[in-house]
Amino acid sequence: MNDMRKEYDFSEASRGPVLNAGVGKTRITIRIDDDVLEWFKQRVHAAGGGSYQSEINAALRRHIESRSEEFESTLRRIIREELKDAG
């Protein structure tokens, strides 16, 4: 019952990832400290599964959004102060 062939035809095959990254996603290579990567993997495992890469992406997005909120809060404070000083 051995279905293995002696030769396979790869002439029309292409190299690369099996799945496309998807719209709005870019495949990259990144170096992350072992302990940081392990933390994300443990977090996904504790949640019952999922993708540690998605968790890293979500953490980066939260950081970006928090920085935007800090900027917006600072800008609003400055505008209030200027309007108050202007009378």
Write the Ramachandran bin of 48: left for phi over 0, alpha for psi from -120 to 50, otherwise beta. Answer: left
Tally of domains in the chain: 1
pLDDT one-digit tens code per residue, 18-75: 677 778 988 889 999 999 999 999 999 999 999 999 999 999 999 988 888 888 888 8
Report if residue 74 sits inside a domain. Answer: yes
> Would you say the pTM of this structure is higher than 0.75?
no
- List, in order, residues 6 or more apart from 59 with CB less than 8 Å away: 40
Structure tokens at 62: 């939260």
**Cα separation, 29 vs 69, whole angstroms:** 29
Is 60 among the domain residues?
yes
Q: Is a pLDDT exceeding 70 seen at residue 2?
A: no
Tell me the residue range of the domain where 63 lies. 34-86
In a domain, 22, yes or no: no
DSSP 16: S
